[in-house]
């Protein structure tokens, strides 16, 4: 059960104390306080855990501090978009806002290789007015003989260059808890010139111990990448692990799923699930067209297939795009075949701006669209 408090009710107010006193008197109920910082106001929510079935929702709703009581199903308890809970949410991090109504492009290196290429990448981003990037330091590779990333060694120059070029957030994968400490240490040492969004990769999508570790810290937001061999529901539940451990600053990233039907792409592009994740949860949704498509083939219309896939995500309302770029893709140590050239970045960005604008117009159009009365839509069609 979630109790949404009236705006302005704070921890020192008598109404708040009366409500907490009421709840504390109930056996087997634990109360967790959470604040959602929206653009207009901060909403305080109390999450009740335990035997909530025995609670009287109407009685609680009668408490002066309470705006609304929402009974939640077991599904996505913390992150779900439960009935009656439609407030836009999201989080601010290092000067950027991430929500279901914002958009950020994270273009960057799949794997950091050397300071010169890192600087060329950062400079290209600044030229485009971009403030976010992706930089892989710890690379989980399918083969143990492939380059595994420079790890902590490259962090000092990655952070310093990010600061130099005005990059506010660097998305960076971590594959074990130790990496969180290394990132924190090197950021502190560099004087925190940038921020880091820690990435849980698809190969760790159900590494529950790692999920609990990234959830147990709140310094860094988390970019969770959908598991490529598990259901969407299982991936969303994995995000619940992060949230239940204490960190709700999560972005959910679609990156394609494994299927021979994906061929000739590296993965089957799953960006039709953008609106589904937005309907089921309150998380901002990212798409990664590079790891979905896995090549830099050009369609006959002149657009790269990576651009087409990115467009599919953005036209469906994606809030973030993660894309591989490299100054010399043919010499990249990881995923060169799918990386775009730096000279393509302005075009990639402009293309996304066109699509974003089209998405906004679609949303305006939808506001006027007639909505069938409930009960007149019939059951969903079945495959025959």
Residues at the contact surface with ligand PEP, assessed by CB under 6 A: 110, 136, 173, 201-203, 225, 255, 288, 291
270 binds, among ligand PEP, Mn ion, none (CB under 5 to 8 A by kind): none
Distance in angstroms between the alpha carbons of the first and the last residue of the chain: 40
Q: How far is the CB of 223 from ligand PEP (least distance, A)?
A: 9
- Does residue 244 contact residue 34 with C-beta atoms inside 8 Å? no
CB closer to ligand PEP out of 171 and 243: 171
- Does residue 247 contact residue 217 with C-beta atoms inside 8 Å? yes
d(C-alpha 252, C-alpha 49), whole Å: 24
d(C-alpha 139, C-alpha 148), whole Å: 5
CB closer to Mn ion out of 99 and 294: 294
278 binds, among ligand PEP, Mn ion, none (CB under 5 to 8 A by kind): none
The reply on whether position 110 binds Mn ion by CB under 5 A is yes
Kindly compute the dihedral angle of the four CA atoms of residues 22, 24, 26, 32, in this order, to the nearest 10 degrees.
Answer: 110
The reply on whether position 335 binds Mn ion by CB under 5 A is yes
The reply on whether position 60 binds Mn ion by CB under 5 A is no
The reply on whether position 223 binds Mn ion by CB under 5 A is no
User: Among 196, 38, 39, 217, which Cα is nearest to 132's?
Assistant: 196
Which residue is associated with the tokens 């994270």?
106
- Which residue number is nearest to ligand PEP in terms of Cβ? 201
Candidates 67-75, 105-113, 308-316, 375-383; binding stretch for Mn ion (CB under 5 A): 105-113
Q: How far is the CB of 208 from ligand PEP (least distance, A)?
A: 17
Q: How far is the CB of 326 from ligand PEP (least distance, A)?
A: 12
What SS3 state is found at 248?
coil
Give yes or no for a cis peptide into 326 (omega within 30° of 0): no
- Does residue 135 contact residue 171 with C-beta atoms inside 8 Å? yes
248 binds, among ligand PEP, Mn ion, none (CB under 5 to 8 A by kind): none
Q: Which long-range contacts (CB under 8 A, 24 or more apart) does 114-118 make?
A: 115/157, 115/161, 117/326, 117/327, 117/328, 118/154, 118/157, 118/158, 118/161
Q: How far is the CB of 95 from Mn ion (least distance, A)?
A: 27
The reply on whether position 107 binds Mn ion by CB under 5 A is no
- Does residue 2 contact residue 69 with C-beta atoms inside 8 Å? yes
Q: How far is the CB of 383 from Mn ion (least distance, A)?
A: 34
CB closer to Mn ion out of 241 and 271: 271
173 binds, among ligand PEP, Mn ion, none (CB under 5 to 8 A by kind): ligand PEP
Helix pair 115-127, 345-368: axis angle to 10 deg: 50
Q: What is the DSSP letter of 209?
A: H
CB closer to ligand PEP out of 44 and 319: 319
Q: How far is the CB of 216 from Mn ion (least distance, A)?
A: 26
CB closer to ligand PEP out of 267 and 307: 267
CB closer to ligand PEP out of 179 and 255: 255
255 binds, among Mn ion, ligand PEP, none (CB under 5 to 8 A by kind): ligand PEP
């Amino acid at each position: 059960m979630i109790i949404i408090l009236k705006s302005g009710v704070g921890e020192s107010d008598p109404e708040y104390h009366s409500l907490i006193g009421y709840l504390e008197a109930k056996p087997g109920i634990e109360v967790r306080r959470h604040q959602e910082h929206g653009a207009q106001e901060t909403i305080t929510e109390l999450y009740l855990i335990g035997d909530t079935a025995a609670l009287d929702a109407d009685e609680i709703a009668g408490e002066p501090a309470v705006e609304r009581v929402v009974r939640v199903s077991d599904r996505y308890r913390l992150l779900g978009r439960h009935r009656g809970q439609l407030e836009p949410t999201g989080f601010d991090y290092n000067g950027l806002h991430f929500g279901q109504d914002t958009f950020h492009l994270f273009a960057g290196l799949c794997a950091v290789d050397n300071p010169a290429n890192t600087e060329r990448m950062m400079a290209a981003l600044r030229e485009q007015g971009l403030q976010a990037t992706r930089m892989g330091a710890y690379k989980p590779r399918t083969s143990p003989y492939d380059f595994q990333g420079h790890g902590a060694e490259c962090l000092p120059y990655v952070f310093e260059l990010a600061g130099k070029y005005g990059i506010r957030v660097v998305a960076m994968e971590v594959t074990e808890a130790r990496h969180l400490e290394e990132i924190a240490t090197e950021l502190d040492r560099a004087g925190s010139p940038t921020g880091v969004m820690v990435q849980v990769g698809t190969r760790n999508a159900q590494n529950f111990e790692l999920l609990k570790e990234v959830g147990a810290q709140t310094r860094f937001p988390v970019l969770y990448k959908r598991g490529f061999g598990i259901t969407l529901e299982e991936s969303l539940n994995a995000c619940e692990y992060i949230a239940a451990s204490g960190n709700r600053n999560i972005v959910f990233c679609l990156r394609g799923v494994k299927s021979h039907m994906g061929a000739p792409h590296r993965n089957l592009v799953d960006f039709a699930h953008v609106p589904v994740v937005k309907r089921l949860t309150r998380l901002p949704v990212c798409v990664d067209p590079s790891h979905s498509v896995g090549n830099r083939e050009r369609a006959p219309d002149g657009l790269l297939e990576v651009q087409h896939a990115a467009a599919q995500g953005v036209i469906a309302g994606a809030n973030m795009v993660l894309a591989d770029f490299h100054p010399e893709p043919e010499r990249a140590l990881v995923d060169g075949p799918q990386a775009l050239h730096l000279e393509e970045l302005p075009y990639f960005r402009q293309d996304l701006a066109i699509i974003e604008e089209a998405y906004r117009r679609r949303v305006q159009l939808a506001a006027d669209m007639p909505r069938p009365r409930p009960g007149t839509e019939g059951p969903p069609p079945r495959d025959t």
